[in-house]
Every structure is written in structure tokens, then in C-alpha cells.
Amino acid sequence: MKSVKTEPPGRKTVQDLIGKALCAASLAYAPYSRFQVGAALLCADGSVCTGCNVENASYPAGLCAERAAVAKAVSGGKREFAAIAIVGGRDGKVTDFCPPCGICRQVLREFADPKRFYVILAASADRYRLFTLEELLPESFGPEKL
């Protein structure tokens, strides 16, 4: 578990991540809910891994955008993350904030210090909210507890 940033990402970085999350959302496979979600995960080395939600006729087999981004990063050898931007909306229209589900919060926690990892919920490049993972998942259980 590593998270390298101690300060929130700057405005330019936030807007870049939001733009990449919006692009990722456009690739979502969401034929059942029509709710498209995109995520852009900022790695410690400055690279960004994106993910989109992938639904399945067997609903529990679906994959959230955040976990898709984490899986892409981990399968590429990345293990240290600084922030994630998340966007989502019905039929690709982002009108409000789209917080991560509980499973995604826990998966992010596996790879991040909750006090130093930032979650950006965005409705647009200029309308966003910034949280630490600790604010979204207080009293969390992580690898250091084992």
C-alpha cells in the first residue's frame, strides 16, 4: 500500500484527469443501465490509467470503471497511486457527481494511504469535488491490518 502525494493535485492536473475520465466514460459498455462511468487513475510516476464500466447480463459479473482502471494499472506493473477522477451519467450525459461504490472504495484502499490519496468527483472540468479516500472510507481496513 503506497500513496505518494501529500497535497491535493493542482487544478491543471485535476482538469486533465477529468478530461481523460470523460473520454473513458464514452467507451463504457452499459447496455442495461445506460449509465456510463469513466475513471482516470493518476499513478505515482505521472502516468494515467483509465477505465470504464463494463456491464454483463449477469449483473454481479459487471466491472466498475474504478476497478477497471486499477486492474489496468496493476497489470502494467503500477502499484503506487496519487489520485483518481470519476465521472458518470445516464446515456453519457454527466450532470452530477458520481461517487465510487463501496467495493471500489475498498479496492482503492488496497493500494493507497487513505489520508494521501485523492478522489475527484466531477460533473465537468470546472465543477468537481475533491476528497481524500479517508473521507469517503473512514475507519477502513487495509493490508497493514493483516
| pLDDT tens per residue across all 146 residues of the chain | 454 556 889 999 999 999 999 999 999 999 999 999 999 999 999 999 999 999 999 999 999 999 999 999 999 999 999 999 999 999 989 999 999 999 999 999 999 999 999 999 999 999 999 999 999 999 999 999 99
pLDDT at 6: 62
Query: Which domain does 123 fall in, by range?
Result: 2-145
Opening angle at CA 144, ends 139 and 146, nearest 5:
100
| The model's pTM | 0.94
Opening angle at CA 97, ends 32 and 143, nearest 5:
85
Q: Which residues are catalytic?
A: 66
d(CA 96, CA 12): 21
CATH code of the domain in which 11 resides: 3.40.140.10
Provide the domain count of the chain. Answer: 1
- What sign does the dihedral 33-50-66-85 (CA atoms) show? negative
